Amino acid sequence: MDWGIKNRLSKLFKSDGHCFFLPVDHGYFQGPTSCLEKPAKTIKPLLPYCDALFCTRGVLRSCIDAAMDTPVILRVSGGTSMVGSDLANEAVTTCLEEIIRLNVSAVGVSVFVGSDYEKQTLLNLSNLVNECERYGIPVMAVTAVGKETEKRTSRYLALSCRIAAELGARVVKTYWCAKDFDKVVEGCPVPVVMAGGPKCETELEVLEFVHDGMQKGAVGINLGRNVWQNPNPVAVAKALHAIIHEKASVKEAHDIFKETKK
Ligand code: 5RP
C-alpha cells in the first residue's frame, strides 16, 4: 500500500484500529431529514467524539468549516430520492477532480446487491476504485437496501460485503444483524463498519447492538440517526465512543450516557 492511501486510512482509523464515523449525508436522497435540517448545528457538538464525517460536497462546502481537523468521507453516489421510483438507481455524482480538490480522506458509494440496479451500482464501485486508487484515495462501499429493510439477513449482508470487498472497497459499511453477524465479518476480507438504520426505540438498544457487533469483529460504526435524532445526541456519542475506543461494556456505556444526560 502506498504512503498516501495509508496516510488517509490512518486518519480514519485510530491507533486501536477502530472508528466512529458520523454520517450526515441523508439529505442526498431524503431532503431535510429530521434533526439534520441545519447540518452545521447538528454536527458541531458531536465532532469531539467522532473520527470522520460522512457527507456530500454540498453540505461540506456550505456548512462545514474548512479549518476543521476531522477527516471527511465524501458521499459520491446518488441521483435518486425517497419519492422517486427506485432508490437503487444510483450513479456516481462527483468527479475525481472534485474529490481531490476537496482533500477528502475517502469516498463512499452505495451498492444495491440483488436489486434491478445491481450491476450498475457494482460498476459504480469498481470504476470509482479504478480512479481513486490511482490517487491513493480509499473507497468505502455502503451495502444499501433502500426501503427493503427486511433484506438485512446475515446471508444477504455477507454476500453484499464480500462482493464489495472483491471489487476493491477498502472498507465496507453494512448493517448489524442479530443472528450470525460474525459470519458477515468473517467473510469480508476488509474492515467492516456498522450502519445504524432508522432510530431505535431506546439508546440502550443502540449501545447493545454496537457492543455486540464490535465483539463479533466489526471495527466501528457509521451511525447517524441513532445519534443525532436522540434527544441527547452528545450523551449517545460519548457512550458510543467509550464502546468503540475504550472497550466499555454496555453497562459502562449506559452509565456514561446517563451521567452526560444530567
Ligand atoms: C444512507 C447512508 C447513511 O450514511 C446511512 O444511512 C447511515 O446513517 P444511519 O445510521 O442514519 O442509517 O449511507 O445510505
pLDDT tens by residue, 47-76: 999 999 999 999 999 999 999 999 999 999
Residue 17 domain-assigned (yes or no): yes
pLDDT band at 169, cuts 50/70/90?
Answer: very high
173 is catalytic: yes
Residue 160 domain-assigned (yes or no): yes
Query: 242 pLDDT exceeds 80?
Result: yes
Residue 251 domain-assigned (yes or no): no
Ligand 1 atom 4: residue of nearest CA: 23
| CB 223 near ligand 1, within 6 Å | yes
Distance 122 CA to ligand 1 centre (A): 18
Residue 202 domain-assigned (yes or no): no
Ligand 1 atom 6: residue of nearest CA: 197
- Kindly give the number of the ligand 1 atom that is closest to the alpha carbon of 197: 12
All three cell numbers of 95, joined, read 468527479
Quick one: pLDDT at residue 34? Answer: 96
Best residue for ligand 1 mutational test, from 222, 227, 228, 240 (most atoms within 8 Å of Cβ):
222
Residue 214 domain-assigned (yes or no): no
- Flag the least confident range among 17-21, 55-59, 143-147: 143-147
Distance 23 CA to ligand 1 centre (A): 6
Q: CATH number of the domain that 14 lies in?
A: 3.20.20.70
Quick: pLDDT tens for 246-262.
999 999 999 999 999 98
All three cell numbers of 19, joined, read 472508528
pLDDT band at 108, cuts 50/70/90?
Answer: very high
Query: For the whole prediction, is pTM greater than 0.85?
Result: yes
Between vectors from CA 171 to CA 115 and to CA 158, what angle results, nearest 5°?
Answer: 45
Mean pLDDT, range 27-35, rounded to an integer: 96
Query: 151 pLDDT exceeds 90?
Result: no
Distance 221 CA to ligand 1 centre (A): 11
Quick one: pLDDT at residue 249? Answer: 98
> In percent, how much of the chain has pLDDT > 70?
99
Catalytic residue among 6, 11, 147, 173: 173
pLDDT band at 200, cuts 50/70/90?
Answer: confident
Q: How many domains does the chain have?
A: 1
Quick one: pLDDT at residue 103? Answer: 97
> In percent, how much of the chain has pLDDT > 90?
94
Query: What is d(CA 5, CA 1) in angstroms, rounded to the nearest whole number?
Result: 7
Within 8 A by CB and 6+ apart from 93, the residues are 28, 56, 76, 77, 78, 79
Q: Cα 146 vs. chain centroid, distance in angstroms?
A: 15
Quick one: pLDDT at residue 147? Answer: 67
Residue 203 domain-assigned (yes or no): no
Average pLDDT, whole number, for the chain?
A: 96
Quick one: pLDDT at residue 212? Answer: 97
Residue 156 domain-assigned (yes or no): yes
Residue 225 domain-assigned (yes or no): no
Domain extent, residue 106, equals: 3-193
